[in-house]
Amino acid sequence: MHGFANPARFLRLARWLTAPLLLGGLAISGAALAYGWFAVPPDRLMGETVRILFIHVPTAWLGMGGWTMIAIASLVELVWRHPLAGIAARAAAVPGAVFTAICLVTGSIWGRPAWGTWWVWDGRLTSMLVLLFLYFAYIALAGAAQRDGASNRIPAIFGLVGAINVPIINRSVVWWNSLHQPPSITLGKSAIDPAFLWPLLVAAIGFSLIFGGVMLARMRALLADIQTEARLRRKVLEA
């Protein structure tokens, strides 16, 4: 793990992995979505709209997974001062926010035919919306810290504190009455028919690879910006 604390070593690996992760993820998730559209049968209760599952659920998982990554990277940055941890946390924020937004929008689209409403202020939907606002706040804080040359400690602490929302999202359908269904997939168990479960898991793998590819691309961009700034500063000092 500490071997990758060296940005040069990390960049060598990232250069090799970024495009395959992005292209592989797009191909796998595209294939799963096409299969979901053309080959999956309609559900007995939800009818054709069950196909929204293949986008809504993976993006929900990755929205929560993105913040979990921010929290872990923030902890590593605060405790061990790993030079890449803060960059990894910042890189996870934008894909996490985009996948959370896609989850909310596709959930709203699904809610109209399934529940008869686009939105309800229940525990699951509200805590997911809070997650999106937490992402916006984190992106703004981290951007301001980088722009002003301030310490990364404040975004890192915010990343850790914000993680309290992740278990709340997960347990919201158990703790409160909700239009949203209770968890269909838990560790080792699934209430979903295999006809829907397999394309869902393949789509989740595809979207996860895209998340990884985007995160590496953003880490490379952030590292390149830091290197450019350092080079320009050195040139000014030498002049």
Residue ranges binding another protein (CB under 8 A): 18, 22, 25-26, 29, 33, 37, 47-49, 51-52, 55-56, 59, 94-95, 98, 101-102, 105-106, 109-110, 112-113, 207, 210, 213-214, 217-218, 220-222, 224-225, 227-228, 231-232, 235
Residue number with CB closer to another protein (81 or 233): 233
> 70: closest CA among 59, 86, 81, 84?
86
Residue number with CB closer to another protein (95 or 123): 95
Determine contact, residues 36/51, Cβ cutoff 8 Å: yes
Q: Name the minimum Å distance from CB 91 to another protein.
A: 9
Q: Name the minimum Å distance from CB 198 to another protein.
A: 19
- Cα–Cα dist 118/125, whole Å: 11
Contacts of 19 (CB under 8 A, 6+ apart): 213
Determine contact, residues 50/84, Cβ cutoff 8 Å: no
Q: Name the minimum Å distance from CB 189 to another protein.
A: 26
Contacts of 231 (CB under 8 A, 6+ apart): none
Q: Name the minimum Å distance from CB 46 to another protein.
A: 8
Q: Name the minimum Å distance from CB 121 to another protein.
A: 21
Residue number with CB closer to another protein (1 or 237): 237
- Cα–Cα dist 32/34, whole Å: 5
Residue number with CB closer to another protein (160 or 202): 202
Q: Name the minimum Å distance from CB 60 to another protein.
A: 12
Residue number with CB closer to another protein (163 or 211): 211
Residue number with CB closer to another protein (140 or 232): 232
Q: Name the minimum Å distance from CB 87 to another protein.
A: 12
Residue number with CB closer to another protein (94 or 130): 94
